[in-house]
Chains A and B, each alone.
Chain A
Amino acid sequence: DMKVTQMPRYLIKRMGENVLLECGQDMSHETMYWYRQDPGLGLQLIYISYDVDSNSEGDIPKGYRVSRKKREHFSLILDSAKTNQTSVYFCASRTGNYAEQFFGPGTRLTVL
């Protein structure tokens, strides 16, 4: 079953707290992505991972870091969350440059 999962689906944190968003995929895809989605701005790329321990900044990496220790898992970490990081976060994976991306269901993060 080709699937991308995200945990948790909903999260409320206070400003200054640390946040961990998790993403998993069962397709052995090499490349994984983290995006955030805000009204009127579409999908903005935060980080790309090409494979285990091979990550690259996207367009808006400030305030975020990532970890990929297994091909199936890709984590997004917010150290000391800020209110402007309130958003919906999507993880995606794909097998090559010309392939479709498979997206997870998203995590709705609210930072108070």
Chain B
Amino acid sequence: GDSVIQMQGQVTLSENDFLFINCTYSTTGYPTLFWYVQYSGEGPQLLLQVTTANNKGSSRGFEATYDKGTTSFHLQKTSVQEIDSAVYYCAMSPAYKVIFGKGTHLHVLP
């Protein structure tokens, strides 16, 4: 069945560290892939999305590449800041449904 795997439940970094959050997905066809960010006390909001395989999406210094070969959509940022502390969700939309990973809680120390 369709699924999204995020293995890292929690990541703690210092400011200016490199961020890498794993995301792999399983489905047939070519879904649209998303990263959502959720700040404390708010609903999730779109960080970036990619519809076409092998394309890269980027926003606010974050980027992710839709790799159809490895079925991955890892999130990266070169230099995190304290304001990036939030929960990050990888998501996949093969059709009407949107399937979310379990989320990665990023804590950035000043």
Residues of A near B51 (CB, < 8 A) are: 98
Instruction: Give the segment of A43-51, A62-70, A79-87 that binds chain B.
Output: A43-51
Instruction: Give the segment of B16-24, B37-45, B75-83 that binds chain A.
Output: B37-45
Residues of A near B98 (CB, < 8 A) are: 33, 45, 92, 101
Residues of A near B102 (CB, < 8 A) are: 40-42
Interface status of B62 (Cβ within 8 A of chain A): no
Interface status of A34 (Cβ within 8 A of chain B): no
Interface status of A25 (Cβ within 8 A of chain B): no
CB–CB A42/B32 < 8 A: no
Residues of A near B89 (CB, < 8 A) are: 42-43
CB–CB B101/A106 < 8 A: no
Q: Chain A at the B interface: mostly helix, strand, loop or mixed?
A: strand
Cross-interface CB contact of B96 among A40, A50, A100, cutoff 8 Å: A50
Interface 1/0 per residue, B81-110 and A, CB below 8 Å: 000000001000101111111110000000
* A41-B102, A45-B97 known; A100-B43 Cβ under 8 A: no
Interface status of B34 (Cβ within 8 A of chain A): yes
CB–CB A97/B96 < 8 A: yes
Q: How far, in Å, is A51 (CB) from chain B's closest CB?
A: 11
CB–CB A90/B44 < 8 A: yes
Residues of A near B65 (CB, < 8 A) are: none
Q: Provide the bound-state CA to CA distance between A33 and B9, in Å.
A: 24
Residues of A near B36 (CB, < 8 A) are: 101
